Amino acid sequence: MHGLMMDTPLLISSLIRFADLNYPDREIVSVTADNPLHRYTYREAFARSRKLANALRKLGVEPGERVGTLAWNDYRHFELYYAISGSGMVCHTINPRLYPEQVSYIVNHAEDQYLFVDLLVMPLVEALWPTFKGVKGVVVLTNEASMPDSQIPNLMCYETLIADESDEFDWPEFDENTASALCYTSGTTGNPKGVLYSHRSTLLHAFAGGLPDVLGFSGHDTALMIVPMFHVNGWGIPFSSAIVGAKVVMPGPKMADGEVLAALMNTEQVTVASGVPTIWLALLAYLEASGEKIPSVQRVSVGGAACPRSIIEAFDQKHGITVHQGWGMTETSPLGTIFKVKPTMGELTKDELYDLQAKQGCGVFGIEMRITDENNEPLPWDGEAFGTLKVRGPWVIKDYFKLESVDNPLDEEGWFDTGDVATIDPHGVMQITDRTKDVIKSGGEWISSIDLENVAVGHPKVAEAAVIGRYHPKWTERPLLVVVLHENAELPKADMLAWFDGKVATWWKPNDVVVVDELPHTATGKVNKLGLREQFADYAFPDAD
Ligand code: AMP
């Protein structure tokens, strides 16, 4: 027997209608290539989204077709999110920092009809234009005065495109499982694979994201969204904010500029900010050097890569800010876990709290997780057993775009294998110890490269660190630490290795340390371990003879 309640579909356009009526005067502030501080309201944002929806229709884009964006976080990207998905098309966000061949592959694989491109990304698109197979035109996200010279035949200006359109548009109603957005994973091997989100998955994810013990958004918050909108829907923040009417602040192309971030935090009275660990390193370094403070900020959410404990401590001790670490993937929309203190954890000392915050966090309702052994048997939540992390839930992928029935990402029981290795403690706090392919196996026992990296970056002279497993004749594999030091710093090997004493089990201590000028990175700013292993392919440990 069915319940007797309305089966109103969960659609992104319902957010526009709701926020437009309930929070018309809440502000959206952003930095763009053509404006250092653009400010307007939700009402104006949604009116312009409706103009854009009319323009997209005139361009002839059909429901279900993909429209690509190559853009930083700003108000025009926000309008694109809502207009494209709201009208039943698929908003395909593309990371402009990917290798050019990958951008070209992605645009062609997605069969993007039009590309909406930030002014600063135009040189890339100009160079790649001859490689695009079906793109009918490019819209530059700027005004007429700032339009670049270009050889691209059907080049349009965003402001001109929407200028004369009506701001009335009837958002269509359709099945909530209709595709809304597309984002490609940027693996270090093989071609990127597309994750196709639906309206339903996006809305359920936005509901969960806003909960008090998750990202905890309230209408009184001002959210600085540094996490890129081209990477997994900006963690769903454009949608979670609209549910509660939080003010949104976006740094445009300045997302790694500590000075601009601090200024935005202070002028806009930001209460909560979200970004990857590298961003926070840049901000903390700027605050340290300038002596500036950011008193309005209460919470910082961090994810995408392991957050070193040193970041958590610096935010707490120097700025009174609580760090919430979360874990997720493109395939999980991305929210999977986030740290929260549970009442059952009892009284925690600062040290115990920092240790917990440095883990990847607790389950969020909507995501089931488990860790399994080589035989796919679930492992206990005892904080000791390591296993493959598997998840399932309404905002987890079930198939990659256009790889259906070719590359099934689920196991026989319908769980998605994340490729991460983790422990889960009795409180349900999950800790990633490695990517499956990065695990170091020494004498048959696993060593967590992430734990070692976290300890290494805690050293005041270390700017960045990576640990990889290298061949060792006695132990099969042992950890090699590769570090980048702060400018002008010197650090003898013995001092670096002694830093691990008492911080990790003795047998986990790296066998050697190599100082390099820089580490290889992927397009999303993570250390490219595959590249690093290739770089050190011929390396032999000093104690290997
Ligand atoms: P992506 O799909 O590019 O967002 O990458 C997802 C991967 O990033 C995950 O499978 C993890 O390996 C890693 N990751 C995400 N968040 C964290 C975190 N808080 N700590 C450690 N690794 C993380």
Token pair listed for 343: 């009442």
Residues 427 and 359 sit within 8 Å (Cβ to Cβ) = no
Q: Where are the alpha helices (DSSP H) in 245-341?
A: 258-268, 277-290, 309-319
CB 295 within 8 A of CB 198: no
- Mean pLDDT, residues 333-338: 97
Confirm whether 58 is a catalytic residue.
Answer: no
Residue 283 reports pLDDT greater than 60: yes
Q: Note the pLDDT tens digit of each residue in 466-515.
A: 999 998 888 888 999 999 999 899 999 999 999 999 988 888 999 999 99
Q: Which of 215, 327, 451, 526 is the pocket-test mutation for ligand 1 (most atoms within 8 Å of CB)? A: 327
Q: Is the pLDDT of residue 188 over 60?
A: no
| Mean pLDDT of all residues in 507-525 | 89
The DSSP secondary structure of 471-518, one letter per residue, reads EETTTEEEEEEEEEEPTT----HHHHHHTTTTTS-GGGS-SEEEE-S-
Q: From the CB of 312, is ligand 1 less than 6 Å away?
A: no
How far does the centroid of ligand 1 lie from the alpha carbon of residue 382, in Å?
22
- pTM: predicted TM-score of the whole model, two decimal places: 0.89
210 neighbors 240 (Cβ within 8 angstroms) = yes
Residue 316, Ramachandran bin (φ over 0: left; ψ between -120 and 50: alpha; else beta): alpha
> Which of 407, 412, 368 lies closest to 391, judged by CA?
368
Q: How far is the CA of 435 from the centre of ligand 1 (A)?
A: 9
From atom 6 of ligand 1, which residue's Cα is the shortest distance away?
329
The rounded mean pLDDT for the chain is 94
pLDDT for 545: 66
Confidence of residue 46 (pLDDT cuts 50, 70, 90): very high
pLDDT of 364? 97
Does the Cβ of 432 fall within 6 Å of ligand 1? Answer: yes
Q: Is the pLDDT of residue 166 over 70?
A: yes
Determine contact, residues 502/491, Cβ cutoff 8 Å: no
Report the pLDDT averaged over residues 144-168: 97
CB-ligand 1 contact for 433 (6 Å cutoff): no
136 is catalytic: no
- Is 63 within 8 Å of 89 (Cβ atoms)? yes
Q: What is the pLDDT of residue 83?
A: 98
Q: Does residue 189 surpass a pLDDT of 60?
A: no
Here the tokens at position 40 are 């307007």
Side-chain half-sphere exposure of 513, counting CA atoms within 13 A: 22
Tell the burial category of 351 from Cβ atoms under 10 Å away from its Cβ (0-12, 13-18, 19+).
exposed
- Worst-scoring range by mean pLDDT, 57-61, 65-69, 191-195, 433-437? 433-437
Tell me the pairing of strands 416-424 and 429-435.
antiparallel
pLDDT of residue 35: 92
Rounded mean pLDDT, 378-390: 95
Per-residue model confidence as pLDDT tens digits over 78-102: 999 999 999 999 999 999 988 899 8
Q: Say how far apart CA 398 and CA 394 lie, in whole Å.
A: 9
> Is 446 one of the annotated active-site residues of the chain?
yes
Check: CB of residue 228 under 8 Å from CB of residue 255.
yes
- For residue 308, the model assigns a pLDDT of 86
Can 8 be counted among the known catalytic residues? no
d(CA 341, CA 321): 15
In the reported structure, the alpha carbon of residue 305 is separated from the centroid of ligand 1 by a whole-number distance in angstroms of 5
